[in-house]
Amino acid sequence: MSQFPRGSTGPPDGVVVPDLPELPEATVSRLPEYLRALHQIAQAGQDTVSSEALAAAAGVKSAKVRKDLSQLGSYGTRGVGYEVAVLIEQIEQVLGLTQRRNVALIGVGNLGHALAGYGGFGSRGFRIGALVDADPARVGERLGDLVVTHIDELPATVAAEQIAIGVITTPVVAAQAVADRLVAAGVTSILNFAPCVLSVPDGVDVRNVDLAIELQILSFHEHRRGRGDPDGAAAVRRAAPKVVGP
């Protein structure tokens, strides 16, 4: 509620953004979902949105939306809702998306090609700034307006393109070594597609995406549904968004 909970030397630019004392991790992981929903709502022409409507669009409960947004300083108006444009700008500020972030893709194979050719990152605040591989046959290949560089040049590439995030799409055997080289080059955020645990120093963040794990979690519920549980297969009632897991 307070507009300036802590003294800041001054608003950097654009919207007024109080530096938040501390944001619950659960809230952080939902902010991107709100942002995605808000962009849809904005494109539909709405200029304000209630917590109820935003909750429906994001697939959560409205109380959760209100509590999450209240953590950001709360620019909602009672009886009306939130200004969509303001909310978008504020969430983008908090997530650090006001400046476009450059990511490097390490391992331009099967999956790497798909990601490199994907045009959907631009509107979400990211640009693929480098394609990196170790295979001499791959180095030099051109994809769009990027050329695959060799991993030995990683430090120079990271510096030149101001890489903020490294995405690992190499085989498991190479993943740890690649992570080490990314860290050595100064990268402190890693998105890892290789199905393995990475060891990194303190101060470096890793997020893992393992599709087989997602399938296995689904398999568990499928399995559970099949056995004895009469509730699972029976009920086909309302068409509410029922999402399992995080």
Ligand X SMILES: NC(=O)c1ccc[n+]([C@@H]2O[C@H](COP(=O)([O-])OP(=O)(O)OC[C@H]3O[C@@H](n4cnc5c(N)ncnc54)[C@H](O)[C@@H]3O)[C@@H](O)[C@H]2O)c1
Instruction: Write down the least CB distance from residue 28 to DNA, Å.
Output: 8
Helix, strand, or coil here: 10?
Answer: coil
- Distance (Å, rounded) from C-alpha 209 to C-alpha 67? 28
Give the one residue of 34, 35, 37, 66 binding DNA; rule: CB under 7 A.
Answer: 66
Give the one residue of 32, 75, 111, 150 binding DNA; rule: CB under 7 A.
Answer: 75
Helix, strand, or coil here: 15?
Answer: coil
Neighbours of 140 (CB within 10 A): 11
Neighbours of 165 (CB within 10 A): 19
Binding status of residue 61 toward a second copy by CB under 8 A:
no
Nearer Cβ to DNA (135/229): 229
Give the one residue of 54, 84, 87, 103 binding a second copy; rule: CB under 8 A.
Answer: 103
Binding status of residue 78 toward DNA by CB under 7 A:
yes
Instruction: Write down the least CB distance from residue 228 to ligand X, Å.
Output: 33
DSSP string computed for 122-144:
GGGTEEEEEEEES-TTTTT-EET
Residues that bind ligand X (CB under 6 A): 106-112, 114-115, 118, 120, 133-135, 138, 151, 169-172, 174, 177-178, 193-195, 211
